């Protein structure tokens, strides 16, 4: 009896099919080497990434959404190339921090209420922007034993010391300190306003553990009741969930120093055989008038503010994807208006299309070039202009656009007759200097939960979160529109 050939084929074929996209090379700009490099995962069957998540004491501001969207796109790309079950994405919640403690003291509310509420808001807001949930979303306070274990290793190996109830990492013991941010120790001291404290042997040393008074959150430890410093949590959670060496680590470029520099130092010292993260991705800041949007500068608005003003999550996502993550960007209303008009056109195009086709290879290749999201958007324009609607839908869905969940705001209603009427009323009002009719129309529209966005050459009427289809139909009847 000869060996059945068919059996051999049956084993070989599915593996090959699975791997067809693995031929595509992903290139990423690695902050650690300052080069665009071909991405080679440690294990093709388990590509591992970690993103530093939010400190949960308040609503996320729009800037906080930038790397969430960027990593979401990276996650989708890795899934497309390596397969759905071959990617592990971790994003943490920092739920122990003095900002949280202060908020609790100011408001008189328990910390656990504040963090639970903020986490709930955060997940709601990030989902509204079309982001998939990571595979793991660990909370720092669930990893205190792992952090203590990590710190004990560092003390045992002579990389950390105790002083006045604190445990500090001794920066001079790690020879590669400064490699990620590319700064000298002198620059770092000057630039980061490092804290000089009596318990530090060197001003650059950073806190791994600090004592807590009875009225502050604290855990028993070999150094007394206390709480962790900021940086140790990410090292401990990444180690626990992804291993000592993993593939990609990210965050905003404001985290490069000191946060990520310190993560590398403590991780590479606690586990000398490991590399910690092999590729580091940092996004540029979302700005307001040329300055970083931040809570401390007070120049921020939250994701929820925008959603409540009637900007669809899909529109916000589109605006973010239009600029490469490595460039500074501003949010402004005219970008949102343009995005709204493009997305409306595309929604109209795909409305009756039921094609189910794979993501075009040129799209995957474009995105593989250091997450060139703006390049993919140009391809979407080409597909729309050439009538390649199946491709438009597949490629947009791949970016998290034009999906069913993201389409609610579009609501499949024809606003063109109302828009024409609005323009007509407005032109007459400008001529006659009597705005009664246009004001009346506008207030009826507001009551029906739609926004009137006025551009240079056009007017768009867009449903917002309070959209009421029945009221809109009543307005159309009132004005005798179809
Ligand atoms: P935080 O809650 O301030 O620790 O920030 C959470 C994440 O948002 C970090 O990855 C920051 O780098 C990022 N981030 C903060 N402000 C901005 C901004 N204006 N633009 C882009 N990313 C930001
Ligand atoms: Zn971190």
Q: What percentage of the chain exceeds 90 in pLDDT?
A: 78
52 CB under 6 A from ligand 1? yes
Q: What is the pLDDT of residues 241-253, one digit of tens each?
A: 999 999 999 999 9
pLDDT at 16: 38
Between the CA of residue 161 and those of 106, 149, 201, 272, what are the distances in Å?
34, 14, 9, 18
Integer Cα distance of 114 and 99 in angstroms: 11
The protein residue whose alpha carbon is closest to atom 16 in ligand 1 is 63
Measured from the Cα of 284, ligand 1's closest atom is 21
pLDDT over threshold 90, residue 212: yes
Residue 66 CA to ligand 1 center (angstroms) comes to 8
Residue 281 CA to ligand 1 center (angstroms) comes to 13
| pTM for this predicted structure | 0.88
Q: What percentage of the chain exceeds 70 in pLDDT?
A: 94
Integer Cα distance of 70 and 50 in angstroms: 13
Confidence band for 191, pLDDT divided at 50, 70 and 90:
low
Q: What is the CATH number of domain 328-398?
A: 1.20.120
66 CB under 6 A from ligand 1? yes
Q: What is the pLDDT of residues 132-184, one digit of tens each?
A: 999 999 999 999 999 999 999 999 999 999 999 999 999 999 999 999 988 77
3-state secondary structure 313-363: HHHHHHHHHCCCCCCCEECCHHHHHHHHHHHHHHHHHHCCCCCCCCCCHHH
137 neighbors 91 (Cβ within 8 angstroms): yes
Mean pLDDT of 98-117: 96
Q: Which CATH architecture has domain 13-286?
A: 3-Layer(aba) Sandwich (3.40)
Q: What is the pLDDT of residues 83-97, one digit of tens each?
A: 999 999 999 999 999
pLDDT over threshold 50, residue 454: yes
Q: Where exactly are the structural domains of the chain?
A: 13-286, 328-398, 416-478
Mean pLDDT of 107-118: 97
Give, for ligand 1, the residue of 57, 131, 252, 303 to mutate: max count of ligand atoms closer than 8 Å to Cβ.
252
Measured from the Cα of 251, ligand 1's closest atom is 10
Integer Cα distance of 181 and 171 in angstroms: 15
């Amino acid at each position: 009896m000869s060996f059945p050939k068919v059996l051999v084929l049956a084993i070989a074929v599915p593996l090959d099919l699975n791997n067809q996209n693995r031929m595509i090379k992903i290139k990423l700009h690695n902050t650690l080497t300052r080069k665009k490099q071909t991405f080679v995962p440690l294990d093709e069957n388990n590509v591992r990434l970690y993103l530093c998540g939010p400190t949960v004491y308040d609503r996320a501001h729009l800037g906080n959404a930038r790397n969430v969207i960027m990593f979401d796109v990276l996650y989708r790309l890795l899934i497309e190339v390596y397969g759905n079950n071959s990617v592990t994405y971790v994003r943490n919640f920092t739920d122990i921090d003095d900002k949280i403690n202060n908020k609790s003291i100011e408001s008189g509310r328990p910390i656990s209420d504040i963090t639970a509420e903020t986490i709930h808001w955060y997940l709601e807001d990030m989902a509204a922007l079309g982001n998939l949930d990571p595979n793991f979303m660990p909370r720092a306070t669930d990893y205190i034993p792992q952090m203590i274990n990590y710190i004990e290793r560092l003390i045992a190996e002579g990389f950390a010391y105790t002083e006045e109830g604190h445990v500090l990492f001794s920066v001079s013991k790690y020879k590669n300190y400064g490699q990620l941010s590319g700064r000298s120790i002198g620059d770092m001291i000057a630039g980061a306003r490092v804290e000089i404290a009596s318990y530090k042997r060197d001003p650059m040393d950073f806190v791994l553990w600090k004592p807590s008074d009875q009225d502050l959150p604290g855990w028993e430890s070999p150094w007394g009741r206390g709480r962790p410093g900021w940086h140790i949590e990410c090292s401990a959670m990444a180690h626990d969930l992804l291993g000592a060496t993993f593939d990609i680590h990210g965050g905003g470029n404001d985290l490069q120093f000191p946060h990520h520099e310190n993560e590398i130092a403590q991780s590479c010292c606690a586990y000398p055989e490991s590399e910690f993260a092999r590729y580091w991705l940092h996004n540029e800041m979302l700005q307001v008038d040329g300055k970083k949007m931040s809570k401390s500068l007070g120049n921020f608005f939250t994701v929820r503010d925008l959603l409540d003003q009637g900007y669809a999550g899909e529109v916000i996502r589109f605006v973010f994807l239009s600029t490469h993550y490595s460039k500074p960007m501003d949010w402004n209303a005219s970008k949102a208006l343009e995005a709204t008009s493009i997305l409306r056109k595309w929604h109209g195009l795909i409305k009756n299309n039921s094609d189910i086709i794979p993501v075009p290879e040129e799209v995957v290749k474009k995105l593989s070039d250091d997450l060139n999201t703006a390049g993919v958007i140009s391809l979407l324009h080409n597909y729309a202009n050439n009538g390649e609607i199946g491709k438009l839908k597949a490629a947009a869905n791949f970016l998290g656009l034009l999906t069913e969940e993201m389409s609610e705001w579009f609501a499949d209603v024809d606003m063109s007759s109302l828009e024409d009427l609005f323009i007509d009323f407005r032109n007459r009002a400008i001529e006659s200097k009597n705005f009664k009719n246009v004001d009346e129309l506008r207030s009826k529209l507001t009551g029906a939960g739609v926004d009137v966005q006025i551009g240079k050459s056009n007017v768009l009427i867009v449903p917002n979160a309070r959209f009421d289809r029945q009221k809109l139909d009543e307005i159309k009847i009132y004005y005798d529109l179809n």
